[in-house]
Amino acid sequence: MKVGAIIAAAGVGRRMKADRPKQLLALDGTPILIYTLRKFDSCAVIDHIIVPSPHEFVQEIRDVVERAGLTKPVTVVEGGERRQDSVWIGMQHLHAGTTTVAVHDAVRPCVTVSEIEAVVAEADHRGAAILAIPIVDTVKQVERDQVEMTVTREHLVLAQTPQVFKIEVLREAFDRARADEYYGTDESSLVERIHLPVSIVRGSERNIKITRPSDLTLARVFLEEERPVR
């Protein structure tokens, strides 16, 4: 098994209301992206890393990555207009012989190495797997600000990343989506669309996606708790 990780970092993060991409915002002096990359750099099952980035920040991200002192090969490339485009571009830069692809949000720095390893192992066994957590809140279906019904939570989960696939599975899903000009909400949705099974690996409530300013505070707490006690 040879696993390439694609760290999707080409978004601009408009909901963060910052003048820079959120993956470059610093937590205690370190860009969020670097916290995320360190997790994959520390993971024994990951062989190399591809980072699709916003056009105007490619060189800055290359410089930031170079200064981080990571041990695994990291290739920073210019991403596309949408996440799906960026992941497709990242797939074209995977190293020869790659058998498995792990796609992860650049702004999920609190994922653990054990979570990465678990979902990679499941995908290697089943062909496709994602991290996900059960929904604990009551879910309402609404129309024009009026509740239509309460949705049963029993069969619902919140999808996280990494989402991991055998390379041939993900290529087939992307090829079909590109042919149909279809854009999904995540990589799993593309695989589901071609009727291939996707396994669930239990994730963690700590594996948050930093989207709004309040998420920065929570991520800072979680990352601080990960530091070894001296």
pLDDT of residue 11: 82
Residue 228 forms part of a structural domain: no
Q: How far apart are CA 222 and CA 14, in angstroms?
A: 23
Q: What residue type is assigned to position 20 of the chain?
A: R
Closest by alpha carbon to 193, among 181, 176, 209? 176
CATH at residue 29: 3.90.550.10
Q: Work out how many domains the chain is built from and give that number.
A: 1
Closest by alpha carbon to 162, among 110, 215, 225? 110
Could you tell me the residue range of the domain that residue 14 belongs to? Answer: 3-223
pTM attached to this predicted model: 0.95
Residue 62 forms part of a structural domain: yes
Helices 32-41 & 58-68 angle (0-180, nearest 10): 50
Residue 20 forms part of a structural domain: yes
Q: What residue type is assigned to position 191 of the chain?
A: V
Helices 167-180 & 83-92 angle (0-180, nearest 10): 130
Residue 230 forms part of a structural domain: no
Residue 78 forms part of a structural domain: yes
In tens digits, what is the pLDDT along the chain, a chain of 230 residues?
Answer: 999 999 999 887 666 656 789 999 999 999 999 999 999 999 999 999 999 999 999 999 999 999 999 999 999 999 999 999 999 999 999 999 999 999 999 999 999 999 999 999 999 999 999 999 999 999 999 999 999 999 998 889 999 999 999 999 999 999 999 999 999 999 999 999 999 999 999 999 999 999 999 999 999 999 999 887 55
Residue 208 forms part of a structural domain: yes
Residues in the chain: 230
Residue 218 forms part of a structural domain: yes
| Backbone Cα Rg of the chain | 18
Q: What residue type is assigned to position 95 of the chain?
A: H
Q: How far is CA 13 from the centre of its chain?
A: 14
pLDDT of residue 16: 62
Q: Are 216 and 23 in contact (CB under 8 A)?
A: no
